[in-house]
Structure 1
Amino acid sequence: MVKDGIVFLDKNEKIIFNQYSFCEYIKWNMVKFADKTYEEAGKIVNKSNLTGKVERITEVYCLIHEVPYHWAMLLIYGDMYWLNGIPYPEPCKNEEYTAWENEISEKYNLKEICEFYSE
């Protein structure tokens, strides 16, 4: 089961990975950009490797390397989906997307995907 608040130490940095919030952002991107219901999105995400237990910091870096929109489109349309007319990364780079993401964050009490703290 995914959860928020998974703590990793990386040299002089503490990293908190919020896997539950990460998966929720992906689901909401599926709802908004791929016309999936929240229930359909949940099933897709739950079948993916994104919900697996995260045990190493390198796994976190691999997950956060891409934005939730990319993960959502990848899970629905497959690798290199942008070659089939699905835009990337344009939807994530505008004020409307940022406002929508903030709205989702507040409405569903989601956390930042990853929090970094220097020690």
Structure 2
Amino acid sequence: MTALQVGEQLAAELARHNVPSYVYPLGERWVAVSVWRGLIARTNGGIIWWTAPHPSRRGHALVTYGLAPSSAAKRISGHYLLVRARDPEPSVYLDDLRPSESRGPRHARMIGGPA
């Protein structure tokens, strides 16, 4: 499967868990699935990884992964609840994201953002 196909499957699985997301390509081989501020999954078509919202036991960022979109979505949906509770307001740049008409509602393109 391509990275875009895996990203779209992940977004569909997240929607089943009532978690909104945006899929956008990061070049030809990588795709990002943005869930909430600080919670972005990435895939190359073979593996899906993201940074958990809580640190590891040593206090470092905890990067975790999943191999199937369904299991990754289940785990990400739990992380989504944590980041929503910690950061209830969406990003100040959310108004700058608009769905791309040519790619469908699951994709977004950046119109503006931080300099």
The two structures have a TM-score, normalised by structure 1, of: 0.30
Larger radius of gyration: 1
The two structures have a TM-score, normalised by structure 2, of: 0.30
Structure richer in strand, relative to its length: 2
More contact order relative to length (CA 8 Å, sep ≥ 6): 1
Structure richer in helix, relative to its length: 1
